[in-house]
Amino acid sequence: MVTLFGLVLLTLLVVTAVAIVITPNLFVAVMLMSIFSLLMAATFFILDAADVALTEAAIGAGMSTILFLSALALLAEREQRSPGRKWLPIAVVALTTLTLIYATFDKPRLGDPSAPVHQHVAPWYLEQSPVLMEMSNVVTAVLAGFRAYDTLGEVLVILTAGLGVMLILANGRPERSRQGSAPVAGGLRHHLVPRVVGQLLIPFIVLFGLYLQFHGEFGPGGGFQAGAIIAVGIVLHSLLEGEAAGRAILPTRVLVGLMTGGALLFCAVGIAGMLLGGNFLDYAVLAVDPVAGQQLGIHLVEAGVGITVTSTLVAAFHAFADREPAA
Amino acid sequence: MYYAATAAILVTMALALTRALLGPTVYDRVLAVNMFGTKTVLLVSIVAFLSGRPDFLDLALAYALINFVGVLAVLAFFQKKRHYERPR
Amino acid sequence: MIVDVLSFVMLALGGFFVFMGGLGALRLPDLYTRMHAASLTDSLGTILTLGGIMLQSGWSLATVKLLTILFFLMLTGPTASYALANAALLSAHDPGAGTAPATET
């Protein structure tokens, strides 16, 4: 039964992907990308990967769509076809596709316990998470505990991306609209119903993000998902009240400070481990009881991830939404 | 009966996708995306319940909130674009 | 027993209305008629489907979460439809039937 649902979702996915490539109107492509993200999230969910599905829904269908739309508001809607030979890219893509399809012939069946991926470290992680960390969500235990060095790299990549966007796009001071009270600064302020309902929802969205952040040890959740959802809440406020109000609440200085602060918190936890006698990012020495130390380390590290992700996404949104299209 | 409801929701998702592909105006497509979002919330709720793991309902809750913000973002940016494209 | 029958009926009706909404969104002739079909059946289908699941899960945390989902969908669904219809009308998308479109703000 699950296979049948999965097949239906994958068919819709292929149809959407083909439509995204074919359509010349970029706005339509962005709308279809949102549907694509939803289909991916539903597929991940049917395959029992709840953490990944939550991240895909929060980032793909939420923040990604908003960022694409804010960029598209500055540009033309029609794609500009580049003249040139079409047969070379098609040949390369077709060759790669056929090679990949051939490579899937040897794949083990889904959920096969004797597959290579289930043989090496995976059983060890599954056995040791309740013993070493007493954490029921193994994904968080692996992400923030056993493989924390990798997650540190991810946080630094997010920080670099945020700083890159700001260096390229943002000015020192926000651009003032030359036409006076333009909708750029107004947002949806003049539309009463969405504004009231949206303002009612903002605290719930932020609260739900905080719930996911701290509940990540027991259920689907964690720093990345929580960061994306809190960013969506803050962006909703900017959309409703206008850019000026959004900037007044979280100025650029504060956003940059939060971005770097989150990454620094992560590194500080690692260095604290070294100073207390263990290795870098060794959490067992952070408290008297090694299990409590592991949990404390994971809490702090996930908080750092959440802070960096939130501030990067909000800064990227402000960098795009503040600009006005070239006249 | 859960399977029948899930099948109905999947068929509706396919119909909404068709409207998103066909819709002559932008607003048809936004309508289709909004509908697709709420159907995804229902699908995730039913499947979470079917597989006996109620903590997966967090995903449905997250998605219900995000879908709304997505529609408002589309409308806000469309309004911005229209303002700048108005002939002066 | 009666709870099972009731939840069965609610899920069946929920699936039926959801399907009707999809069919309406595809086959009706104009943007505003499609909005009518999509938003009405969204609300009704959501109430029936989530209500059917809630009856099955009894008094538990899952029911509280489902109630929260229902509350948010009831709050945001009609608002999104309103915002969409408002935007469409303000951009002079003709509703047909001889009414004059509103001027842009």
pLDDT, residue C87, reads: 84
Q: Taking residues B67-86, report their average pLDDT.
A: 81
> Is A190–C105 a contact, with Cβ atoms under 8 angstroms apart?
yes
- Token readout for B24 is 């002559």
Query: Which chain C residue's Cα is nearest to B82?
Result: C91
Which residue, A52, A77, A102, sits at the end of a domain? A77
Specify if C104 maps to a domain: no
Residue A84 lies in a domain: no
Q: Can you give the pLDDT at residue A48? A: 84
Reported as a single tens digit per residue, the pLDDT across C49-80 is 999 999 988 888 888 999 999 999 999 999 99
Domain coverage including residue B64:
2-85
Do residue B38 and residue C8 have CB atoms under 8 angstroms apart? no
Do A54 and A173 lie in one domain? The reply is: no
Q: How many domains does chain C have?
A: 1
Please report the number of interchain residue pairs, chain A to chain C, with beta-carbon separation below 8 angstroms.
20
* A38 within some domain: yes
Does the residue C37 lie in any domain?
yes
Question: Do the Cβ atoms of B72 and C83 come closer than 8 Å?
Answer: yes
Residue in chain C closest to B54 (alpha carbons) equals C62
- Indicate whether A197 and A305 sit together in one domain: yes
User: Taking the mean position of all CA atoms in its chain, how far away is CA C22?
Assistant: 10
For a pLDDT cut of 70, what percent of chain B falls above it? Answer: 95
Q: Which residue out of B3, B9, B12 would a mutagenesis test of the C interface target, given it has the greatest number of C Cβ atoms within 10 Å?
A: B12
Domain extent for C44: 2-97
Is B10 within 8 Å of chain A by CB? yes
| Predicted local distance difference test score (pLDDT) of residue A316 | 92
Report the pLDDT averaged over residues A207-226: 90
Predicted pLDDT of residue C97: 54
Nearest residue to A320 (alpha-carbon basis) of A78, A77, A67: A67
Tell me if C83 is assigned to some domain: yes
Q: Containing domain of residue A67, as a range?
A: 1-77
Of C22, C34, C65, the CB nearest to B61: C65
Summarised one tens digit per residue, pLDDT across range A138-160 is: 888 888 888 899 999 999 999 99
Which residues 35-74 in chain B show a CB within 8 A of chain A?
36-37, 40, 43-44, 47-48, 51, 53, 55-56, 58-59, 61-63, 65-70, 72-74
Say whether pLDDT at C103 is over 90.
Answer: no
Return mean pLDDT, chain A: 86
Q: What integer is the mean pLDDT of A17-27? A: 89
**Which of A5, A45, A66 is the closest to B70 by Cβ?**
A66
Contacts of C84 (CB under 8 A, 6+ apart): B27, B30, B31, B34, B71, B75, C35
Give the confidence band of C105 by pLDDT, cuts at 50, 70, 90: very low
Q: How far apart are CA A197 and CA A240, in angstroms?
A: 10
Query: Quick one: pLDDT at residue C95?
Result: 64
The reply to whether residue C22 touches residue B49, judged by beta carbons under 8 angstroms, is no
Q: Give the model confidence (pLDDT) of A295-326 as tens digits.
A: 889 999 999 999 999 999 999 998 888 777 76
Q: Determine contact, residues A43/A12, Cβ cutoff 8 Å.
A: no
Whole-structure pTM value: 0.89
Q: For residues A303 and A306, give the distance between their C-alpha atoms in angstroms, rounded to a whole number.
A: 5
Distance from C-alpha of A80 to C-alpha of A70, rounded to nearest angstrom: 19
Contacts of B79 in chain A (CB under 8 A): 183, 188
Q: Count the neighbouring beta carbons within 10 Å of the beta carbon of residue A98.
A: 10
Mutate to test the interface with A, among B66, B71, B83 (most CBs of A within 10 A): B66
Q: Is residue C102 part of a domain?
A: no
Residue A180 pLDDT: 41
Asked whether the beta carbons of B62 and A212 are under 8 A apart, the reply is yes
Q: Do residues A166 and A320 lie in contact, with contact meaning Cβ atoms separated by under 8 Å? A: no
Greater pLDDT, A184 or A19 = A19
Q: How far is B5 from chain C (nearest CA, A)?
A: 5
A265 and A170, same domain (yes or no): yes
B4 near A CB under 8 A: no
The answer to whether position A48 is within a domain reads: yes
Residue (of A230, A223, A224) closest to A209 by Cα position: A230
Q: What is the pLDDT of residue C44?
A: 93
Taking 90 as the threshold, does the pLDDT of residue B56 lie above it? Answer: no
Give dist(CA A282, CA B50) in Å, integer.
Answer: 40
pLDDT at A179: 41
In chain A, the number of structural domains is 2
Q: Are residues A125 and A266 both part of a single domain? A: yes
Task: List, for residues B33-52, the tens digit of each pLDDT value.
Answer: 999 999 999 999 998 888 87
Same domain, A19 and A127: no
Same domain, yes or no, for A49 and A186? no
- The candidate with the shortest Cα–Cα distance to A16, out of A50, A46, A43, A55, is A43
Total domains in chain B come to 1
Chains that touch B (3 or more CB pairs under 8 A): A, C
- Eight-class DSSP state of A215: H
Chain A touched by C71 (CB under 8 Å): no
Residue A181's pLDDT is 40
What span, in angstroms and rounded, lies between the C-alpha atoms of A280 and C86? Answer: 56
* pLDDT exceeds 50 at position B21: yes
Give the whole-number percent of chain A exceeding pLDDT 70. 93
Any domain includes C36: yes
Range with lowest mean pLDDT among A210-219, C30-39, C89-98: C89-98
- Based on the domain organization, do A215 and A290 belong to the same domain? yes
What pLDDT shows up at residue A327? 52
Report whether pLDDT(A173) > 70: no
Chain-chain contact of A200 with C82 (C-beta, under 8 angstroms): no
Mean pLDDT of B19-37: 89
**Residue C94 pLDDT level (bands cut at 50, 70, 90):** low
Per residue in A39-86, pLDDT (tens digit) is 999 899 888 888 999 999 899 988 999 999 888 888 877 777 777 778
